[in-house]
Amino acid sequence: MFDIGFWELILIAVVGLVVLGPERLPVAIRNVSRWIGAARRMAGSVRDELEQELKIQELQDNLKKAEQMGMQNLSLDLQQSVDELKKAAEDVQRPYENKNAGEPIANTDSAPASSPAKDKTE
């Protein structure tokens, strides 16, 4: 990536040892390696998100083409895209259906509806 050879790494290590000393050099190396790891994870996360967005955009474009063709006589790739979208829509709806299916609807009122407040001004 940076085209750094073996001798350049040795020179950097010697300069680091002289500047930081033997006690602080391992701590500095750990910190730098953590930063590099965090940067790599962040770059990987961004790359994964971009790939996912590109796939979603492609599926949306294929769906628009399928709608324009009237959902009849679709090519194989368009039919596969439509099937993937239908499956994704079903997967999104399932957790909400399962979550709400077993729970009774709770009353959100703090006071019971059967006991009206009495007016004490007689």
Model pLDDT for residues 11-40, shown as the tens digit of each residue: 988 998 899 888 998 899 899 999 999 999
pLDDT of res. 63: 77
16 with 25: CB under 8 angstroms?
yes
The Cα 63–Cα 86 span in angstroms is: 11
The Cα 9–Cα 11 span in angstroms is: 5
Q: How many residues does the chain have?
A: 122
Q: What is the pLDDT of residues 47-91, one digit of tens each?
A: 999 999 998 888 888 778 777 777 666 677 777 877 887 787 777
78 with 65: CB under 8 angstroms?
yes
pTM over 0.85: no
